[in-house]
Amino acid sequence: MTVVVGILLVISALILIVAVLLQESKQNGLSAVSGAAETFFGKNKAKGLEAKLALITKIAAGAFIVLSVIMMFIG
Q: Which residue ranges in the chain fall short of pLDDT 70?
A: 28-46
In angstroms, the Cα distances linking 49 to 22, 37, 70 are 10, 23, 31
pLDDT in tens, 52-73: 999 999 999 999 999 999 999 9
Q: What does pLDDT average to over the chain? A: 83
Residue 47 is classified by DSSP as: -
**pTM across the whole model:** 0.72
pLDDT at position 46: 53
Q: Which of 21, 8, 2 is nearest to 63 (CA)?
A: 8
Contact 54, 16 (CB under 8 A): no
What is the rounded CA–CA span in Å between residue 22 and residue 15?
11
